[in-house]
Amino acid sequence: MRRTRFFKHMPTSQSFHDNRYLRPLARFLHHHYLWQFNRRGVAGGLALGLFAGIISPVAQILLASILAMIGRVNLPVAAFATFATNPFTVPPLYYAAYRLGKWLIGSEPGTAEELDPETMEKIVGAGSLEGGISSWFANIIDWLQAAGPQLMLGLAIFSVVAAVLGYVLVHVIWQINSRLRWKRRVRRIQHQIENQES
C-alpha cells in the first residue's frame, strides 16, 4: 500500500541509526516487517499499541515497541497508538475500568468506593486540574492504590477489547478501501474501452 501524507511523517529504521540516543537499539529494529505499512502490520501495530497504552500506566511506548518486535508488526503504528491514553482519557477510562472490575468481582473494605466523593469528582470530572497537576496526580495515585484488583481486571478487559476492535477496524477499512480502488480501476478501464470503440 502506498504511503499517505500521514505515513510519510512516521519514523523509519534510518531515523534510529541517525539518532545518537537511539542508535544502540537500532540493531534490534532493522527488520523490514517493523516498518512495512501493509494490512497485517498496521492492524497488528494498532492492536498491540492500544493494548500497551491501556494495560500499562508507564513506559507504554517501550512496551508497545517490544510487543511489535515480538509480533512482527508495524512499530511506528504501535508506538503512536499508545497516545490513545493521555491525561484527558485516563481518568474516565480508569474509573470505568474500576466500575467494571467491581461489578465482576465485588469490592473489599477500604477500596476506592469509600474514598471521599470530592476526590472521585476531581479524578473523573472536567475540573480535575483545579487543584493543580501535583494535587491531581496525588489523587490519582491514592485512588489507583485503593482500587487494586478491580481496576486491574477492568483495564485487562478494556485493553483486550480495544486491541480486538482496533485490529478488526483496520481490516474492515482496508477491505473497503481496496474494493473502492478496484471499482475505480474497473470504471477507468471501461471508460477507456468505450473511448476506443467510439
> What one-character-per-residue DSSP string does 134-160 give?
HHHHHHHHHHHHHHTHHHHHHHHHHHH
Given a cut of 90, is residue 13 above it in pLDDT? no
- Structure-block grid coordinates of residue 83: 497516545
Give backbone dihedrals phi and psi of 140, rounded to 5 degrees, phi first.
-60, -45
Residue 86 burial by CB count (10 A; 0-12/13-18/19+): exposed, middle or buried?
exposed
Mean pLDDT confidence for 147-155:
83
Confidence (pLDDT) at 41: 93
Closest to 63 (Cα-Cα) out of 77, 74, 73, 78: 78
Long-range pairs, 81-86, Cβ under 8 A, ≥24: 81/45, 81/46, 81/48, 81/49, 81/50, 81/52, 81/53, 81/166, 82/49, 82/50, 82/52, 82/53, 83/53, 84/49, 84/50, 84/53, 84/54, 84/162, 85/53, 85/54, 85/60
Given a cut of 50, is residue 40 above it in pLDDT? yes
Mean pLDDT confidence for 162-187:
92
- Percent of residues, the chain, with pLDDT higher than 70: 65
pLDDT band, residue 35 (cuts 50/70/90): confident
Confidence (pLDDT) at 176: 94
Confidence (pLDDT) at 9: 54
Given a cut of 60, is residue 113 above it in pLDDT? no
Q: Are 40 and 72 in contact (CB under 8 A)?
A: no
Report yes or no on whether pTM surpasses 0.85: no
Residues 6+ apart with CB under 8 A from 166: 43, 46, 47, 49, 50, 81
Closest to 45 (Cα-Cα) out of 13, 19, 21, 77: 77
Q: What are 73-103's pLDDT values in tens digits?
A: 999 999 899 999 888 888 888 888 888 988 8
Confidence (pLDDT) at 116: 47
Given a cut of 80, is residue 181 above it in pLDDT? yes
